Amino acid sequence: MEIDDATVRKIARLARIKVDDAEAKTLKGELTGILDWVEQLDEVETDGVEPMTCVTEMEMHMRTDKVTDGGYPEEIVRNAPQHAGTFFVVPKVVE
């Protein structure tokens, strides 16, 4: 699959990456190579194969969900530059 220049520019814009013409040409080749590789993976027969998270069977160790620390909010906010009671005060970021 061949990627065109407009698609490279769109991907760069969505990724918030500034790309000049030379870099766009390099990215075009790299992205085309990646998509070719994905097309090769599409040729692999996967019917009847169960999804797996690891190549060896294993079980996740589960721990109990319990509070192991806390109960002293005054001490925690004491180091904050600004606090109101037991809450951190931060600059407003949304109008």
- The 10s digit of each residue's pLDDT in 43-93 is 898 888 888 877 787 788 888 888 777 788 899 899 899 999 999 999 888
- Does the structure show a pLDDT above 90 at 16? yes
Q: Is 65 left (phi over 0), alpha (psi -120 to 50) or beta?
A: beta
Say if pTM beats, i.e. exceeds, 0.75.
no
DSSP state of 80: S
- The residues that bridge with 53 in the sheet, in sequence order, are none
- Does the structure show a pLDDT above 80 at 94? yes
Looking at residue 93, its pLDDT comes to 87
Asked if residue 5 lies in contact with residue 24, where contact means CB atoms within 8 angstroms, the answer is yes
Identify residue 80 by its one-letter amino acid code: A
| 29-57 pLDDT per residue, tens | 999 999 999 999 888 988 888 888 777 87
What are the Cα distances from residue 43, in Å, to 21, 37, 50? 34, 10, 17
Domain ranges of the chain: 5-42
Looking at residue 12, its pLDDT comes to 93
CATH number for the segment(s) 5-42 = 1.10.20
